[in-house]
């Protein structure tokens, strides 16, 4: 009977070029189309990213042609960047790769980025994670105790801001940020005789990735803010509007020891660099595969007192840091935009 006739064998390794173009048997055709489309899209994003970096160096602000559109930003939100960052972090830890591979990668990074290991307290490293979270020798990062505020970390000054009035928005690389949207808190009014200043520092791979207290203050609250892990490089700041307020971050809020000024510190994650830790609160976690839909606030009944230069936290894979604090009206910026700073150096004197 015709209905019970045995069908021909379907061999998926064949290209079936004799079939018409719309026939699903020609599956290799669709593979080629999907592959070409994927490679083309990725190449376009990489090209736009590098063009944004070039434009940022040329103009130095948000003007220009190479800025992400809202639809492209929505596309980035759909990408599994958090899972990629978690996978990358697991590869950098002990036990995932052989020690020989870790040592080879560390040697390549030291040679490529001209990293000075003489400032490191450790002489050897078991993994990429140990190398990235290496500690500095105390004599290599002296604390300027005469300064009004010191640099909380190593890095490059991205932006310096002065006279921020209350909770009014401020600008970073040409983009406007709301103080509340960035720090997830209503900032108190500026005390009389003081001014509100801020600095944005971008960490490089060659830098140490520990964060210290910029002044002596009582920590009143920490906030985990879920978000994306978009790049916070020079190109990323220009290409991605409002990237600091979009990315995952930990915010530390406190009161200066003199009970006058306020301190706000935001540790901002980035692509492949989402994991962060606080030195005084091990409960705070970041880089969730399924992050919560809301910010997690932790208020401290017993407010820990952080001395100037004491550990605040560490980036397991570094990124950017935003510091906002109240300083006397007579205080002046020591560095300039684009300068390289070290932890412990004076920012305001």
Q: Is residue 41 part of a domain?
A: yes
Q: Is residue 120 part of a domain?
A: no
Q: Is residue 80 part of a domain?
A: no
Contact 298, 222 (CB under 8 A): yes
Q: What share of the chain is helix, strand, coil (3-state, %, to 5)?
A: 25, 25, 50
Are 342 and 260 within one domain?
yes
pLDDT tens digits along 122-139: 888 888 888 888 999 999
Pairing status of strand 155-161 against strand 170-172: unpaired
Question: Which residues make beta-bridge pairs with 254?
Answer: 219, 263
The distance from CA 267 to its chain's CA centroid, rounded to whole angstroms, is 7
Pick 56 or 101 by higher pLDDT.
101
Q: Is residue 123 part of a domain?
A: no
Q: Which of 20, 40, 56 is the last residue of a domain?
A: 56
Strand runs (DSSP E) across the chain, as ranges?
149-150, 155-161, 170-172, 175-177, 194-202, 210-212, 217-225, 249-256, 262-268, 276-278, 296-299, 305-306, 311-315, 320-328, 340-341, 346-348
Q: Please report the pLDDT score of residue 23 as a whole number.
A: 63
Total structural domains within the chain: 2
Averaged pLDDT for residues 98-118: 88
Are 52 and 148 within one domain?
no
Q: Which of 36, 56, 76 is the last residue of a domain?
A: 56
Give the span between the Cα atoms of 97 and 131, in whole angstroms.
14
Look at residue 287 and tell me whether its pLDDT is greater than 90.
no
Q: What residue numbers bound the domain in which 35 lies?
A: 7-56
Residues contacting residue 328 through CB under 8 Å, at least 6 positions apart: 148, 193, 194, 195
Are 178 and 31 within one domain?
no
Q: Structure pTM?
A: 0.84
Give the span between the Cα atoms of 189 and 166, in whole angstroms.
5
Are 246 and 335 within one domain?
yes
Q: Please report the pLDDT score of residue 143 as a whole number.
A: 94
Q: Is residue 110 part of a domain?
A: no
Look at residue 45 and tell me whether its pLDDT is greater than 70.
yes
Are 133 and 243 within one domain?
yes
Q: Is residue 119 part of a domain?
A: no
Are 341 and 209 within one domain?
yes
What pLDDT band is residue 113 in, cutting at 50, 70 and 90? confident
Q: Is residue 115 part of a domain?
A: no
Q: Is residue 142 part of a domain?
A: yes
Look at residue 10 and tell me whether its pLDDT is greater than 60.
no
pLDDT tens digits along 16-39: 566 665 566 565 666 777 888 888
């Amino acid at each position: 009977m015709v209905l019970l006739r045995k069908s021909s064998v379907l061999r998926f390794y064949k290209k079936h070029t004799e079939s018409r173009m719309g026939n699903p048997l020609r599956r290799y055709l669709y593979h080629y189309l999907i592959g070409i489309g994927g490679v083309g899209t990725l190449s376009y994003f990489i090209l736009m990213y590098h063009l944004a970096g070039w434009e940022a160096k040329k103009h130095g602000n948000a003007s220009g042609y190479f800025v992400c559109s809202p639809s492209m930003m929505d596309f980035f939100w759909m990408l599994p960047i958090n899972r990629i960052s978690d996978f990358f972090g697991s590869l950098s830890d002990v036990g995932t790769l052989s020690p020989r591979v870790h040592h080879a990668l560390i040697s390549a990074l030291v040679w490529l980025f001209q990293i000075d290991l003489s400032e490191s307290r450790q002489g050897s490293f078991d993994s990429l994670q140990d190398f990235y979270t290496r500690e500095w020798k105390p004599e290599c990062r002296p604390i300027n105790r005469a300064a009004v505020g010191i640099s909380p970390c190593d890095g490059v000054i991205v932006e310096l801001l002065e006279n921020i009035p209350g909770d009014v928005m401020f600008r970073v690389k040409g983009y406007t940020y709301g103080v509340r949207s960035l720090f997830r808190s209503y900032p108190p009014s500026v005390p009389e005789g003081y001014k509100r200043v801020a600095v944005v520092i971008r960490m490089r791979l060659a830098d140490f990735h520990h964060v210290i207290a910029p002044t002596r203050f009582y920590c009143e609250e920490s906030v985990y803010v879920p978000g994306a892990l978009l790049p916070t490089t020079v190109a990323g700041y220009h290409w991605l509007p409002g990237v600091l307020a979009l990315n995952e971050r930990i915010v530390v809020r406190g009161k200066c020891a003199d009970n006058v000024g306020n301190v706000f510190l935001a540790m901002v994650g980035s692509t492949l660099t989402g994991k962060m830790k606080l030195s005084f609160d091990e409960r705070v976690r970041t880089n969730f595969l399924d992050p919560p839909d809301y910010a997690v606030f932790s208020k401290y009944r017993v407010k820990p007192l952080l001395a100037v230069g004491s550990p605040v936290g560490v980036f397991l894979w570094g990124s950017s840091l935003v510091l906002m604090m109240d300083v006397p009206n007579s205080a002046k910026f020591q560095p300039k935009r684009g300068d390289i700073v070290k932890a412990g150096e004076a920012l305001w004197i």
